[in-house]
Amino acid sequence: MALIIIPKSDSWFKKNKYIILLVLSIFSATGILSGCSGSTSSKSSVNSKANITRMYPVALMNAFPINPATLSVKFSVTNDGSESVSPQCKITMQDASGTYRGWDIFYLKPLAAGVTQQIVGTLTITKEGAQYANEFSGECSATTSDTGTNAGTEVVVSNIEDASWGDDQDELDENKKFPEDSGFWYGPSFKVN
């Protein structure tokens, strides 16, 4: 706010009235503009978490032809973030040459953090080549403000025991060699929390 002193002389005011009006207009406009910029900055501080497109791990579990043109596909999606999301997945199956190809987009229900979901769907394969489409490509994404990751839980292994068999001396033949049909199997047995 500015204080303008106007002399008592009426003639001075008549000569300078346009200058006074211009100064008052500038002060008013400056006040309005600074008020607008103040409200904009308060809105941007409220929306400080920006949404991003995040990718989620996807893997093929199995695929088999239903008929010459249709392929059944079972895949899994893991939410490795820290918040629930509803990803959409573009799934593609094709042969090595790309001659027989099919794709579709699958919209998933909300998937909690750290959860893996299995999805079964069908793809229409071009030129009735469902039996040849054996190469998988999958891309799952969701728009979210979640930047955290769910790394899983640490597993503690205890009580390890030898569970191997098949290497006993009595299995040796008369030449002190193992017969052709003998086998060796090694593997630990353990407990986890």
Looking up residue 93, the CATH number of its domain turns out to be 2.60.40.10
Answer for the pair 101, 125: CB distance below 8 angstroms, yes or no.
yes
Residue 97 inside a domain? The answer is: yes
Residue 175 inside a domain? The answer is: yes
Q: Are residues 93 and 165 in the same domain?
A: no
Q: What is the pTM of this model?
A: 0.55
Report the distance separating Cα 13 and Cα 8, nearest Å. 8
Q: Where are the alpha helices (DSSP H) in the chain?
A: 10-46
130 Cβ contact partners less than 8 Å away, ≥ 6 residues apart: 65, 66, 67, 68, 69, 70, 71, 100, 102
Strand-pair partners of 162: 188
Task: Give me 126's structure tokens.
Answer: 């071009």
Give per-residue pLDDT as tens, 159-174.
Answer: 666 665 554 544 555 6
pLDDT for 65: 96
Q: Are residues 166 and 140 in the same domain?
A: no
How many domains does one find in the chain? 2
User: Torsion-angle region of residue 166: left (phi > 0), alpha (psi -120 to 50) or beta?
Assistant: left
**Domain membership of residue 183 as a residue range:** 157-192
Q: Are residues 119 and 163 in the same domain?
A: no
Residue 100 has pLDDT above 90, yes or no: yes
Residue 67 inside a domain? The answer is: yes
Q: Are residues 114 and 171 in the same domain?
A: no
Q: Are residues 58 and 81 in the same domain?
A: yes
Residue 23 inside a domain? The answer is: no
Q: Are residues 104 and 187 in the same domain?
A: no
pLDDT for 113: 92
Q: Are residues 56 and 140 in the same domain?
A: yes
